[in-house]
Structure 1
Amino acid sequence: MKQLNSKPIVPLPGSHFIRHAVRAIVTRGEEILLLYTARYDDYTLPGGGVDEGEEIEVALSRELLEETGAESITHISPFGIYEEYQSWYKPDFDNVHIISHCFVVDICGSFTEPQMESYEQANGMRPVWLPIKDAISHNRETLANSNKKGQSIYRELAILETVAKEIMGLNID
């Protein structure tokens, strides 16, 4: 898969561990399926961590079901990898090196009620379809003007801008 980072990643000082994650890119026309998180006032791609011994495609299906209620996905196509370092909140390591495997997928069939984890519910996370340009504008505004922003907004904005240009053929400047 191609590298989605526009600049080389630089490790943060201190100890770190590697966490593999999956991110789903689901589009229909100029809309994209995202998660809105009230706590951070941002839009993110559905996805999350790959469990120990779990296959990437299985993790992708599991995360989509948990976060959006999508019961079945088809046409899984690799899009790229985004790497980042973030501060870690537990005492065993200072940082985490997150390697996000991004895939373009189609959703087949119906949606059920999302089965979010308790912290996702507490953060006010919910699935939404919206025009990708609106999501990009909103995340840019949050990044520029909000003290609520989470660490993931840099990743999400970079990936969304790349998706808009390369998959949807949109001019987003």
Structure 2
Amino acid sequence: MRLLFEMDKKDYEYCTHRFVRNSARSIIIRDGKIAMIHSLKYDYYKFPGGGIENGENPVEAMIRETREEAGLVVKPETVKEYGYVHRIQRSDMDSSECFVQDNYYYLCKAEPEAVRQNLDAYEAQETYTLEYVTPLMAIQKNRSVGASPYNPMMFEREARVLELLMSEGYF
């Protein structure tokens, strides 16, 4: 899979250990808009997807997470690799820990009708909502996020992937 870009803060020189948490995300485009999860609580957008569990491959994780977060049932035969973003930085939680994450993105199609979401407690608290939006709307929203418990690199990562998709003619 191709490397889309790297996000390296180079702020981990004093870290003594690493925490690796890879994720897989879906890119579902319909009628010129993209399926995104909108956190109503913190007002940002993210691609449907999330962490890869032990024993799961990235495609399996993307399909599972997309169904859980968005209620979208991915058609497995439509899945195509898009690329990944490599992120590395000192952990926000532990200054001796280096956080490393590869975020794998897959182009795919989903069944026309959504099913019921199966949200984790924090996702329900944030009121994760599936929305089809223009890429520009999501980019603008993510670059103006106010206070949130998340590292701003997450919002910028999603904005940059959307910009790549636009520059490559997906919209």
- TM-score with structure 1 length normalisation? 0.84
Paired amino acid for 1:99: D
Q: For 1:57-86, what per-residue CA distance to the aligned partner results, in whole angstroms no more than 9, with x for missing partners?
A: 211110011011113424101001101125
Aligned partner of 1:162 among 128, 140, 164: 164
Deviation, structure 1 residue 95: 3.3
Length, aligned pairs only? 164
Identity of aligned residues (%): 23
- Structure 2: gaps (5+ residues): none
- 2:87 is aligned with 1:84: yes
SS in structure 1 at match of 2:113: coil
Q: Structure 1 residues 48, 167: closer, same or farther in 2, change over 3 A?
A: farther
- 2:137 is aligned with 1:134: yes
SS in structure 1 at match of 2:72: coil
Aligned partner of 2:50 among 41, 48, 51: 48
Q: Over aligned residues, Cα RMSD in angstroms?
A: 2.2
- Matches of 1:111 and 1:8, distance apart in 2: 33
- Matches of 1:71 and 1:20, distance apart in 2: 21
Q: Structure 1 residues 50, 95: closer, same or farther in 2, change over 3 A?
A: same
Question: Is contact 1:80-1:101 (8 Å) kept?
Answer: yes
- Structure 1: gaps (5+ residues): none
- Matches of 2:8 and 2:148, distance apart in 1: 24
Aligned partner of 2:64 among 42, 62, 65: 62
Counterpart for residue 18 of structure 1: 20
- Matches of 1:93 and 1:50, distance apart in 2: 24
